[in-house]
Amino acid sequence: MDLQKDVRYLKGVGPARQRLLADIGIRTVYELLTYYPRDHVDRSHLKLIAQLQDQETTTIQATVVAHHPIYTRSRKKLLKIDLSDGTGTATLVCFNQFYLKDTLPQGRTIIVNGKFEKKTSPANAFEVTNFTYEVLSGDHEDLIHTGRIVPVYSVTQHLNLRFLRSLIRQALDEYRPALAEFLPPEIISGQSWLDWPRAIEYIHFPPSFTELELAKRRLAFTEFFILEMVLAVKHFKEQRLVKGNSYQLKKNLLTPFKQLLPFEFTAEQKKVIREIFEDMQSVHPLNRLLQGDVGSGKTVVSLCAMLLAVENGYQAAIMAPTEILAEQHFLYLERYLHDLGVKTALLTSGMDKKEYRQVKTDIASGQVQVAVGTQALLEKDVSFKRLGLVVIDEQHKFGVRQRLSLRGKGSQADVLVMTATPIPRSLALTLYGDLDVSTIGQLPPGRLPIKTYKLTEQEAYDFVKGQVSQGRQAFIVYPLIEESPNFTLKAARRMATDLQEKVFPEYKVGLMHGRLKVEEKERIMADFKNKKIDILVATTVIEVGIDIANATVMLIEHAERFGLATLHQLRGRVGRGSDQSYCLLVGEARTPEARSRIAAMLASTDGFKIAEQDLQIRGPGEFFGTRQSGLPEFKIADVVNDFALLSQAREMAFALVQADPYLRQQQHAPLKKFMIEAYGNSLNLIQVG
Ligand code: ADP
Ligand code: MG
């Protein structure tokens, strides 16, 4: 009795049906039994026709008594089928479905669900136009399909719902002995959960809706629990990895660096630096997520970690998702590293070929001590002499696989992941569940919370003028560089000219976008920094990393077009000095989602709250933008709404792995077998024990 058995061993499954089942991802009995219904219909209370109310949506069971084909003037064919259950008649009104004459011959008993309309006469006569039906076979099989709460599955054109339902019933009955509880007693005892066999049975054929809910809860917990087990095992293994090196605090770079810094670290920064240093000094690799809101000072923290690596004779690499962010990091780090005599280089695929080759050579020879780059650092032909630390900024745009790939470049290198988008705790637990987490929960002192307003364009322009006349600077962001015939959106290039000529003639307006050459971007940023430019018109290239303390206004045009995370990032470009800063949103929100995004921006400046909101609005898949995010897919569990269950599963899984990391105890044997069988390959589960 093996759940991994091919479905073709089930009665009624030949090669054709085997293929149809494979099309919806069902190859094994296990996959069949975990092909959960998309819905259930209540056929436990079938109505008699005589009991129907006018306009009632319900289900009846009746027999076909007559067909009335009708040819309308527009030559459309209309078929009326009379049904009777002995208490009255119900007529199916079928437009362009003449074939129903054959599917539903006289004498056939069917179940019909739909909205029944009472006819004026005779008594107990109803009509139904929008309906679904199911043919009964008249034998005991029908007990699966009627008289109960019945599962409805997603099927394809040739895969019949009724067949699938019967097949699942058959598999449930036949494989019952194989369906044993696999969660260990310490997990289930004291919980009011259904055991696994029962949960699997009830998710398909629940005796009542209450039991259906219990089944869903148990299965949702199981999905979370197994995932967290995988993460817990990974985490355990990572912790036991031994790196060849361990660092010592030499301080020959860190001390002069602190002296160069124009500020003191905040208490939170000190805390996370301590956490990171402790990991780096241990014999096990650092594997840590560093999160903190925009502007909380993560980059400086990562620089400390890089300096510790360099002090110890290792190379460090920092990888950013876009060229402009990599450049920004490079410029920021150079400011300090140059004075410290640390050799830094930038590597991006957009670079001049010759220069690119030179940088690669210098990285390979160990000449470059800190390499800053984009995905280019992941290229196969880029190799390091002695890579000790990898810093990954904006992790979610990379994905888990890339994270591992960069680590591979240094044997057991330390990995520090930074996210500029704070991640809701629920997602952090699933996506980064194998990482330790450090959080900077505080902005540097003296920063005033940014004030956010929704204004008309004219009001916003006047506001910008007010600020610029006081010597401040402003950003004006557009969603596009060029106007496009498909959109009626204002675009950055045209608007830069317009704004310069018509709106702000007395000030200097600059333009910045992604298609400019690196040197040009640098020159424009320098001009902005030196106040040669008062107002910088831009696209979202300035979303990340830009750091101009004197800029106090962020005007976002067509704010309805941007995602919440982007809006928050853009807003984070101001408020970096001690002056009050403002974020001005201009645009017309036409969809409910756009309205909620704007509302969320007006309501809060807290990145974590914003991220939670964003998750609510978009759902977890969209939140990370791409499928390659590595976000696991759950069939039943819902990361957002079942968060408490997820936390519970996580705690339990980590405690279990702590106590018995190789699942060697007798009571953990079924769990181990289950994990390896059901999730072994697809989840890439590291073999437990
Ligand atoms: P993040 O990467 O978290 O968005 P950054 O590291 O870019 O933040 O820091 C934002 C700005 O704040 C930078 O100009 C940085 O030099 C400055 N900064 C960092 N830490 C402090 C601090 N403790 N006090 C004052 N300014 C700080
Ligand atoms: Mg940053």
Report pLDDT for 395. Answer: 57
Banded model confidence at residue 404, pLDDT cuts 50, 70, 90: low
Q: Does ligand 1 have an atom closer than 6 angstroms to the CB of 420?
A: yes
Q: 105 near 69, Cβ under 8 Å? A: no
Q: Does ligand 1 have an atom closer than 6 angstroms to the CB of 163?
A: no
DSSP three-state, residue 171: helix
Report pLDDT for 608. Answer: 82
Q: 407 near 238, Cβ under 8 Å? A: no
DSSP three-state, residue 316: strand
Q: Does ligand 1 have an atom closer than 6 angstroms to the CB of 292?
A: yes
**Entry field: residues in the chain:** 689
* Structure tokens given for 598: 């704007």
Q: What's the CATH code, domain 254-440?
A: 3.40.50.300
DSSP character for 421?
Answer: S
**Which residue's CA lies nearest to atom 18 of ligand 1?**
297
Alpha-carbon distance of 178 to 172, in angstroms, equals 10
Does 689 have pLDDT greater than 50? no
3-state secondary structure 187-225: HHCCCCCCCHHHHHHHHHCCCCHHHHHHHHHHHHHHHHH
Does 431 have pLDDT greater than 80? no
Ligand 1: which atom is nearest the Cα of residue 549? 14
Q: Does ligand 1 have an atom closer than 6 angstroms to the CB of 282?
A: no
DSSP three-state, residue 284: coil
Banded model confidence at residue 89, pLDDT cuts 50, 70, 90: very high
270-285 as b/e, with b when 16 or more CB fall inside 10 Å?
Answer: ebbbebbbebbeeebb
Report pLDDT for 393. Answer: 84
Q: What is the mean pLDDT of the chain?
A: 86
* Structure tokens given for 313: 């004779």
Does 432 have pLDDT greater than 80? no
Report pLDDT for 686. Answer: 46
pLDDT tens per residue, range 91-124: 999 988 888 888 899 999 998 989 999 998 888 8
* Structure tokens given for 683: 């989840």
**Which residue's CA lies nearest to atom 26 of ligand 1?**
444
Q: Where in the chain is the domain with CATH 2.40.50.140?
A: 45-147
Question: Of the segments 266-280, 595-609, 620-634, which one has the largest average pLDDT value?
Answer: 266-280
Q: What is the mean pLDDT of the segment spanning 22-27?
A: 93
Q: Does ligand 1 have an atom closer than 6 angstroms to the CB of 441?
A: no
Q: 635 near 223, Cβ under 8 Å? A: yes
Q: What proportion of the chain, given as a percentage, has pLDDT over 90?
A: 48
Pocket test for ligand 1, best of 271, 299, 576 (most atoms within 8 A of CB): 299
Q: 566 near 487, Cβ under 8 Å? A: no
Q: Does ligand 1 have an atom closer than 6 angstroms to the CB of 607?
A: no
Q: Does ligand 1 have an atom closer than 6 angstroms to the CB of 444?
A: yes
**First CA to last CA distance, the chain:** 25
Domain at 45-147: CATH architecture: Beta Barrel (2.40)
Q: What is the mean pLDDT of the segment spanning 392-416?
A: 68
CA of 443 to the centre of ligand 1 (A): 8
Does 628 have pLDDT greater than 70? no
Banded model confidence at residue 631, pLDDT cuts 50, 70, 90: low
Q: 184 near 656, Cβ under 8 Å? A: yes
Report pLDDT for 688. Answer: 44
Q: 560 near 282, Cβ under 8 Å? A: no
Pocket test for ligand 1, best of 263, 394, 395, 423 (most atoms within 8 A of CB): 263
Does 584 have pLDDT greater than 80? yes
Q: Lowest mean pLDDT: which of 250-254, 539-543, 592-596, 634-638?
A: 539-543
Q: What is the mean pLDDT of the segment spanning 255-277?
A: 95
Does 683 have pLDDT greater than 50? no
Radius of gyration of the chain (CA): 32
CA of 112 to the centre of ligand 2 (A): 60
pLDDT tens per residue, range 212-229: 999 999 999 998 898 888
What residue type is 215 in one-letter code?
A
Question: Of the segments 279-283, 305-309, 326-330, 562-566, which one has the largest average pLDDT value?
Answer: 305-309
pLDDT tens per residue, range 442-459: 888 888 889 999 999 999
Report pLDDT for 620. Answer: 58
Alpha-carbon distance of 523 to 552, in angstroms, equals 21
Q: What is the mean pLDDT of the segment spanning 159-186?
A: 92
66-98 as b/e, with b when 16 or more CB fall inside 10 Å?
Answer: ebeeeeeeeeeeebebbbebeebbbbbbbeeee
Q: Where in the chain is the domain with CATH 3.40.50.300?
A: 254-440, 451-604
Q: What is the dihedral of CA 329, 330, 335, 341, to 10 degrees?
A: 130
How many beta carbons lie within 10 A of that of residue 193, not counting itself?
A: 19
Banded model confidence at residue 532, pLDDT cuts 50, 70, 90: very high
Report pLDDT for 644. Answer: 84
Greater model confidence, 682 or 622: 622
CA of 325 to the centre of ligand 2 (A): 9
* Structure tokens given for 64: 């076909």
Quick one: 307 exposed, middle or buried, by C-beta within 10 A (0-12, 13-18, 19+)? buried
Q: 95 near 76, Cβ under 8 Å? A: yes
Banded model confidence at residue 488, pLDDT cuts 50, 70, 90: low
CA of 323 to the centre of ligand 1 (A): 20
Q: What is the mean pLDDT of the segment spanning 309-321?
A: 93
Does 616 have pLDDT greater than 90? no
pTM: 0.68
**Which residue's CA lies nearest to atom 19 of ligand 1?**
297
> Who contacts 291 (Cβ-Cβ below 8 Å, separation ≥6)?
298, 418, 419, 422, 423, 428, 437, 438, 439, 440
Q: Lowest mean pLDDT: which of 54-58, 205-209, 321-325?
A: 321-325
Banded model confidence at residue 331, pLDDT cuts 50, 70, 90: confident
* Structure tokens given for 319: 């990888």
209-248 as b/e, with b when 16 or more CB fall inside 10 Å?
Answer: eebbebbbbbbbbbbbbbbbbbbbbbbbebeeeebebebe
**Which residue's CA lies nearest to atom 13 of ligand 1?**
297
CA of 270 to the centre of ligand 1 (A): 13
Alpha-carbon distance of 269 to 261, in angstroms, equals 14
Q: What is the mean pLDDT of the segment spanning 60-81?
A: 86
Q: Does ligand 1 have an atom closer than 6 angstroms to the CB of 332?
A: no
Q: 433 near 235, Cβ under 8 Å? A: yes
Q: Where are the alpha helices (DSSP H) in 282-378?
A: 298-311, 323-340, 353-365
* Structure tokens given for 380: 């196969």
Q: 418 near 302, Cβ under 8 Å? A: yes
CA distances from 135 to 44, 100, 146 (A): 17, 11, 10
Quick one: 562 exposed, middle or buried, by C-beta within 10 A (0-12, 13-18, 19+)? buried
Q: What angle do CA 294, 295, 299 make, to 5 degrees?
A: 100
DSSP three-state, residue 688: coil
Report pLDDT for 434. Answer: 72
Q: What's the CATH code, domain 451-604?
A: 3.40.50.300
* Structure tokens given for 538: 């831009």
According to DSSP, the β-strands at 535-538 and 509-512 are parallel
DSSP three-state, residue 663: coil
Report pLDDT for 379. Answer: 81
